[in-house]
Amino acid sequence: MTRWPERVDVRDVGPRDGLQNEAPVPIAARVGLIDALARTGLARIEAVSFVRADAIPAMAGAAEVMAAIERLPGVQYSALVPNPRGAQLALEADVDAIEVVVSASETHNRKNVRRSVADSIGGIAEITTLARSADDAVPVEGIISTAFGCPYEGDVAPERVAQLAGHLIDVGCTSVSFGDTTGMATPRRVHDLLDALEAARVDITTIGLHFHDTRGTALANVLTGLERRVVRFDASIGGLGGCPYAPGASGNAVTEDLVHMLHDMGIDTGVDLDALIDCARLAQKIVGRELPSAILRAGARTRTHPS
């Protein structure tokens, strides 16, 4: 099978991107979820965010979470940081990787972090300097949000996103991923962005894609990425998170739905799907609401019924 990559690297962002958009849950529950995810074979978990607790109460206690989790070898536990102060705290908490965010849309960036895109890039440069000077240099991933469209501005030019990716690499990001913050991507938009990245000489095999299923297209978008040789995808266990712009709508792509599809396509993820489904059940229990996971409801396609 040479149609798609043989192996794909799935990052679960449920403990951070997911839970950040849910009502706060106890630190012990966050630790339990991270530990359960690590035992499924996932190689990367977005575990925490070092933000001000008054700004995002659901992410309070990031250092406590990092101190309490079992650090399985081979698993990268990352933290999102909004500024150099957050990066300092993340490094003190011994995270394996740092993530920084900037929006492709000026309006979204100002709404999200109250500064211009240029100012955000300046802050990211400080963060990468800090991360490089850590005892063991810590990788910094630049995440470009609204990369497939902005809920305020509408379409965002792929060339602008590609240019921004170049800026992030210029200021020291070790990788770049592209977030479909409000689920505006379709296979056409994915091709358009990848075309622009290739034109800008970005190596597609190093980037990450982060889709939301707000409009039902997450797995079609992943498929498009796979056909273009993208091998790094984000998803959220159980679909934790929702969409702040559309109450009741789905948010992040669902990790177990993604892994289920990849495995049936003959693509290795290193993840135990049954263990992942158990994690989705745990996530649902933690937040106390039904999550939008298809596999949680229907089971894997290999589950047959007695005739």
Q: In the complex, which residues of this chain contact its own copies (CB under 8 A)?
A: 1, 3, 107, 111, 149-154, 183-184, 186-189, 191, 213-220, 222-224, 243, 245-246, 248-250, 254, 257, 260-261, 264-266, 294-295, 297-302, 304-307
Q: Per-residue b/e over 164-201, b at no fewer than 16 CB within 10 Å?
A: bbebbeebbbbbbbbbbbbbbbbeebbebbbebbeeee
Which residue's CB is nearer to its own copies, number 61 or number 179? 179
- Contact between 49 and 100 (Cβ < 8 Å): no
Which residue's CB is nearer to its own copies, number 145 or number 217? 217
Q: How far is the CB of 30 from its own copies (least distance, A)?
A: 26
Q: How far is the CB of 291 from its own copies (least distance, A)?
A: 12
**Nearest in space to 276 (alpha carbons), one of 226, 242, 222, 236:** 236
Rg (CA), the chain: 18
Hey, how many other C-beta atoms are within 10 angstroms of the C-beta on 306?
3
Which residue's CB is nearer to its own copies, number 99 or number 257? 257
Q: How far is the CB of 181 from its own copies (least distance, A)?
A: 12
Which residue's CB is nearer to its own copies, number 30 or number 189? 189
- Contact between 108 and 154 (Cβ < 8 Å): no
**Nearest in space to 215 (alpha carbons), one of 181, 240, 249:** 249
Q: How far is the CB of 160 from its own copies (least distance, A)?
A: 17
Which residues are CB-contacts of 54 (< 8 A; sequence separation ≥ 6)? none
Q: How far is the CB of 185 from its own copies (least distance, A)?
A: 8
Of 150, 173, 243, 279, which is the active-site residue?
243
Residue with tokens 């962005």: 193
Active site residue 243: yes
Would you state the structure tokens that stand for residue 301, as one six-digit string?
Answer: 């396609």
**Nearest in space to 41 (alpha carbons), one of 16, 75, 68, 6:** 75
Strand partners, 154: 150
Which residue's CB is nearer to its own copies, number 111 or number 132? 111
Which residue's CB is nearer to its own copies, number 30 or number 210? 210
Q: How far is the CB of 297 from its own copies (least distance, A)?
A: 4
**Nearest in space to 238 (alpha carbons), one of 255, 251, 213, 220:** 255
- Contact between 100 and 147 (Cβ < 8 Å): no
Active site residues: 243
